[in-house]
Chain A
Amino acid sequence: MRDPDAVLDADAESIADGRARLIEAELSRAGLGLVLRMGDRGSGLLLDRLVRLLAIRHPRAFVAMREMPDARVLIEPTDARVALLLRVGPELSLRLRPCQARKDGAAATDGMADAVISGPYARLLDLLEGRIDGDALFFRRELSIAGDTALIVALRNTLDGEEMDLLADALSFAGPLASLLPVLRRNAGPLLDRLADARRLLPPPLKWGIARIEARLPGFGPGREA
């Protein structure tokens, strides 16, 4: 009855989707790096505004996070210089912290947080938006967690119960920039192709120059070397 040759094809749409996602992940990672450079006060004000906005858009999740006991979760990308420190409970807040370098590659709480989730930035973004199955990532060891497991499970379940589009939400207070997002998403594939082609045609010194500039941009490049 089972036909071994009838393997399902991945549809073209999901591939285009994946490429748009790539750009989004890069952009938001760089964006976070810039916010970190604003200093504690500036970035704090901006993040407070973001939390207020998200709470209006996703009341169910934010009420649930405020009802949780006071605790801190560090969301730490292994390939960026910025980590997010989320405080749940009545004093819900979000702050940025520079990533800590770790010898063993495993998450550790260091007393700064009650729990730590760490993994590649793009995966963490997918996870926060509920686009990807966190358990499967954890089973495959692409994500690591440390500290209070119940806190991580509660947070995961709360965020997974929402349909979030963090980048669209974050950009929505950037005024006209927000309207660029759908255009970017539609055109991500051709855009990436053209960029890759253009880069291939560049003379080597220019290619190296671009790579050096990228390396200096906050948010780009692995955080471990920082």
Chain B
Amino acid sequence: MDRFELICPAGTPAALRAAVEAGADAVYLGFRDETNARNFPGLNFTRQDLAESIAFAHARRVQVFVAINTYPEAGNLAPWHRAVDDAARLKADAVILADLGLLDYAARTHPELRLHLSVQASAANAEAIRLYRDAFGVRRIVLPRVLTVPEIAKLNAEVDVETEVFVFGGLCPMAEGRCSLSSYATGLSPNKQGVCSPASHVRYEPRGKALASTLGGFTINVFGEGENAGYPTLCKGRFVARDTAAYLFEEPTSLNAMDLLPELKSAGVRALKIEGRQRGKAYIGAVVRAYREALDAFAAGRPVPRIDLQAMVEGGTQTTGAYTRAWR
């Protein structure tokens, strides 16, 4: 039986080293600009950081994937093209792309470069996936977080492309690449500027013993004394409708699919992905170590140990997301 590949996030070279040392098979990361969907202040890699990080990872037989997964601006393709060219020149093992034009550019300019389709492209059916494979030679699809395990199994049976699924971290409950909530409140979106609910528009305000989180002047949540707080991601807001405050779109829970390893294996999934390039190296080290342990046990046919990651997750609660359908 093929082993799962464990794909881990890194927002800084130190986080990459933490992921490699904790047992990642591959690390994904982005450049320091709007070409990737985690364009946060102080985060990400310069060209030199990438060169050094690739040398570090390759010396330990760990792969490096570069996410260039936002949609280029009309009339300003250069930063996106440069990102693809530099990833190829610095010997990244794959680039993770979403935009059709950029996929075409990468396939034509760097035929030897391995292409992965980003979750941002939301390819969720066999026809779409076949098109990406046949037109651009895409080798792996990162599946959107809206599919159930039986749907993933069906997809894998229908198309011969590797699939990668998210198993841990924050949830983006909409079909990725199609959400405009953040644009509406702040003028900035994950699809264009690489930020959902950007920190520049976030404020936390004490209100008596409670803590309010606001985004672009809108109150997104008010946490009572002692209640776990959260980042004011718009879709995880608690809004008042008909005089009742409730999570209208999505509760601030985090995905953890560690219980579903056997199901994901039978569904034909090739790689498991951990979310969180914006999180610190302590988080990345702890989560990657836990998953390495679980995957090694699973591959050896041993029981998967119970590993407590509760303290790490936003909202302090975990879910198996859409995979088990309860959520959808």
Show the binding face of A for B, using Cβ within 8 Å. Answer: 1-4, 6-8, 60, 64, 68, 104, 106, 108, 130-136, 138-141, 144-147, 149-158, 160-163
Contact = CB atoms under 8 A, between A and B. Distances in A.
A3 B211 CA distance: 39
A161 B280 CA distance: 8
Contact of B314 (A8, A130, A131, A139): A139
Contacts of B230: 139
B261 interface: yes
Interface stretch (B10-18, B115-123, B125-133, B148-156): B10-18
Interface string B155-186: 00000000000000000000000000000000
Interface residues of B, number: 53
B307 interface: yes
Contact of A135 (B226, B280, B293, B308): B280
Given A104-B209, A149-B202, A3 B306 contact: yes
Given A1-B304, A140-B228, A104 B206 contact: yes
Interface stretch (B37-45, B59-67, B267-275): B37-45
Interface in B32-64: 40-43
B198 A144 contact: no
Contacts of B203: 147, 149
A6 B303 contact: yes
Given A104-B208, A150-B41, A157-B11, A140 B305 contact: no
Contacts of A60: 13
A147 B200 CA distance: 10
Given A149-B203, A163-B14, 4 more contacts: A8-B307, A64-B42, A133-B279, A138-B229
Contacts, number: 130
A3 B305 contact: yes
Interface stretch (B75-83, B93-101, B243-251, B281-289): B281-289
Nearest to A143: B229
A163 B282 CA distance: 11
Contacts of B282: 130-133
B199 A6 contact: no
A6 B293 CA distance: 12
Interface string B294-317: 000010000111111001111110
A6 B305 contact: yes
Nearest to A102: B206
Contacts of B17: 163
B283 A133 contact: yes
Given A135-B314, A162-B14, A163-B14, A149 B199 contact: yes
Contacts of B211: 106, 141, 144
A6 B40 contact: no
A3 B280 contact: no
Interface string B208-220: 1101000000000
Contacts of B40: 153-154, 157
A151 B203 CA distance: 11
Contact of B14 (A3, A6, A104, A160): A160
9 contacts: A131-B282, A136-B312, A139-B229, A141-B211, A144-B206, A157-B40, A161-B11, A161-B13, A163-B17
Interface of B: 11-15, 17, 40-43, 198-200, 202-206, 208-209, 211, 223, 226-231, 258-259, 261-262, 278-283, 286, 293, 298, 303-308, 311-316
B283 A135 contact: yes
B311 A154 contact: no
A106 B303 contact: no
Kindly name the residue among B14, B209, B286 whose own CB sees the greatest number of chain A CB atoms within 10 A.
Answer: B14
A31 B41 CA distance: 32
Contacts of A158: 42
Nearest to A140: B228
Contacts of A7: 305-306, 308
A166 to B, nearest CB: 15
B141 to A, nearest CB: 26
A162 B280 CA distance: 11
